[in-house]
Amino acid sequence: MSTNRSPEIRKDAVHNRWVIFSPARARRPSDFKAKSDPNSNSKSQTECPFCAGHEHECAPEIFRVPLDSTSEWKIRVIQNLYPALSRELEYPNSESNSGPASVAGFGFHDVVIESPAHPVHLTDLSPVQIAEVLLAYRKRIDQLRAFDSIKYVQVFKNHGASAGASMSHSHSQIMALPVVPPTASSRIQSMKDFFKETGKCALCQVKQDDLLIDESSHFFSIVPYAATFPFEIWIIPRDHSCHFHEINDDKAIDLGGFLKLMLVKMSLQLNNPPYNFMIHTAPLQVDSEDLPFTHWFLQLVPQLTVMGGFEMGTGCYINPVFPEDAAKVLREVRVPN
């Protein structure tokens, strides 16, 4: 058991950061559970602006699935009513050279409503329906690629109030930025360094039996060797691929089923925790020499711990569960048919 192991400091070769594993600070790995239902405060709510019939309460629609649907839509992609960035601003061709670096807050902030029904969550959808959500991401990214000033697109989902969700209706978000964010640039630099040292892609090399959770036709899932958070999951394409938006329909269906399996395993084992998932992809304008070491993946993080002053001050996280133990626990979760 983890509690018999000494603390260990591991290097995350993908993000270029150190993680402290300190099992003495925790219970047994199998005892980790979320404290409460992430949507406990909204169980009595049956309708909201994201529900079918309330479209007029939302910000403007970008597109829906199916495209020719009227009231019988499955997915809607809309502008965020309270965007972090403004699509109305003009983005300058260059940054200001005087004073601290700053640029206009230009960008796009969209919402993907994953179902017209309020009680339905991502895990309630079929693999094909989840694939339709993934393909809506792909379509929107393809639209955003037409803007030369957009350098990076971040797809993410917050599930549960403590994971940052302001609406309980199942949805995810897409933000298109005029800059490459620091997490992405440091990840790419770290993977470049790994490639220079080994001649290999860091993510093509991470599949270890003791870290593996499961596999599908086109993807595999692991708890990473230096997982930042307890029971963190990475879903990684088997084939080397730089950009999420290059996913084809068949792989999207495979990923839909595999993502659902990981979410259900996590929910069953950890008592339906609040969670975040993020799709980590390459910048839109990637140099050809960067293609061999950039590899997209989906990061799934259950919210089980709280970041404190040590993490904020050092950028070094403390994880109370060794990845090998978390992977074993998740491997052994039996999902009902």
- The residues annotated with a catalytic role in the active site are 171
Strands 317-319 and 17-21: parallel
Say if CB 305 and CB 230 are below 8 A apart: yes
Place of tokens 């049956």: 46
Furthest-apart CA pair in the chain: how many Å? 62
* Contacting residues for 15 by C-beta, under 8 A, at least 6 apart: 183, 186, 187, 190, 228
> Hey, CA dihedral for 126, 127, 132, 133, is it positive or negative?
positive
Q: How many CA atoms lie within 13 A of 172 on its CB side?
A: 21
Rounded-to-integer distance, Cα 122 and Cα 272, Å: 12
Say if CB 174 and CB 78 are below 8 A apart: no
R_g (Cα) of the chain, nearest Å: 20
Instruction: Give the DSSP per-residue string, 186-212.
Output: HHHHHHHHHHHHHSS-TGGG---TTTE
Q: Taking Cα atoms as reference points, which of 327, 250, 321 lies closest to residue 27?
A: 321
